[in-house]
Structures are given as C-alpha cells and as structure tokens.
Amino acid sequence: MRRRDAYATLRAAFAAGCDRNGFRLIHYAVLNDHLHFVVEATGRTTLSRGIQGLLVRIARALNKHWERSGRVFADRYHDHILRSPREVRNALRYVLGNGKKHAAEGRAVSVPQAIDTYTSAPWFDGFRETFVVRGIEAVARPVTEAHTWLLTIGWRRHGLLSVLDHSA
C-alpha cells in the first residue's frame, strides 16, 4: 500500500470517509500490509460502524485500483480507548513515526524525508520543528480536525512531538 498510486487511492478514500455520523479519522499511517488509525467516535457502536464503513470504502477503492475483487482486510481490528493526555501523545508518536521505526529496523519500508509522507503527518500541527511539504495544497485533506480535549489540547501538556523521534 506504500506505493504512490495506491496511496493516492487510499488518501481519496480517507478524505471521503474521514468525518461521518459521529466518526472522525484524525490521523493515520499506511504501512506495507496494514494501517494505523487515530479516530474519534461518539460511542462504541459509532466506532465499530465508522471503522467498518471506512474499511469497506478503502477495500472498494483499492480493489478498483488494483482491478481485482475480493477481501482486502481481515474482518477484525484492534482498538484501544485512549484515556489520558500521555496515552494520546504516545499513540500519536507511534502512529506518525511507525514507518520510520520499521525503516530503522531494516524492514521493507523507506522514509527518506523528515516525516513519513505515508501518514497524516503533513497535516499535523504538533511537531516542534517546522517543515514544508511541497504540493500539499493540491491534495484533498484526508483527515479531519479533532474535537476532543485529549486530541486537541490535552496531549500537548507532555510536549510537542519531534520529527527526529522514532515510534516506541
């Protein structure tokens, strides 16, 4: 999924499904064979239906792109409710830095830039360092703004993230 054409398809699916019926996609990371999401939902049912809807949208888009049919994802996902500012900060660091961690471990992932552009990092305003992603203005925003205190203000109490960090 970390190919330019497949990623463009994924970003379009993310943009179309990032804010629907109380479910919001706030951040993501695209790895070779899996995805990481940080989402907000108004409840467990909204979360379940939101993830299911987003994964169906992604699978249909990828199948069309790859000119194939069939399952793209297993019928499962792992969720974890983030309850504290530190937990949210650690999750953001993990999701936005996971590709760099895989690359540092010698896995088949390449992250030659300061940030992983196969994540929502270009739209993230919580890095200590400033950087410019050329051409970002021409790309539809694939994530939506957070509404909860934890994802807007709370996590920042433990410090902004650094583009130099690898996820834990």
- Sequence-ordered alpha helix ranges (H) in the chain: 4-17, 44-66, 85-104, 149-152
Bridge partners (DSSP) of residue 20 are 23
42 in a structural domain: yes
Bridge partners (DSSP) of residue 84 are none
168 in a structural domain: no
- Residues 69-80: tens digit of each pLDDT: 888 887 677 889
Domain that holds residue 113: 4-158
Nearest to 102 by CA among 27, 14, 11, 29: 29
165 in a structural domain: no
Q: What pLDDT band is residue 103 in, cutting at 50, 70 and 90?
A: low
Q: Which residue has the higher pLDDT, 88 or 168?
A: 88
58 in a structural domain: yes
Task: Report the pLDDT value the prediction gives residue 105, as an integer from 0 to 100.
Answer: 59
- Cα 89 to Cα 27: distance, rounded to the nearest angstrom: 12
Q: Could you tell me the sign of the dihedral formed by the alpha carbons of 122, 126, 127, 129, in that order?
A: positive
167 in a structural domain: no
- Cα 89 to Cα 37: distance, rounded to the nearest angstrom: 14
Task: Report the pLDDT value the prediction gives residue 114, as an integer from 0 to 100.
Answer: 76
Task: Report the pLDDT value the prediction gives residue 108, as an integer from 0 to 100.
Answer: 59
Task: Report the pLDDT value the prediction gives residue 88, as an integer from 0 to 100.
Answer: 98
Q: What pLDDT band is residue 146 in, cutting at 50, 70 and 90?
A: very high
Residue 149 has pLDDT above 90, yes or no: yes
- Cα 20 to Cα 16: distance, rounded to the nearest angstrom: 9
131 in a structural domain: yes
Residue type, 48: S
151 in a structural domain: yes
46 in a structural domain: yes
Sheet holding 23-30, edge to edge: 19-20, 23-30, 35-41
Task: Report the pLDDT value the prediction gives residue 106, as an integer from 0 to 100.
Answer: 60
Residue 168 has pLDDT above 60, yes or no: no
- Residues 35-94: tens digit of each pLDDT: 999 999 999 999 999 999 999 999 999 999 998 888 888 767 788 999 999 999 999 999
Q: Which residue has the higher pLDDT, 109 or 130?
A: 130
- Residues 104-123: tens digit of each pLDDT: 556 656 666 778 888 999 99
Q: How many domains does the chain have?
A: 1
CB-CB contact of 72 with 9 (8 Å): no
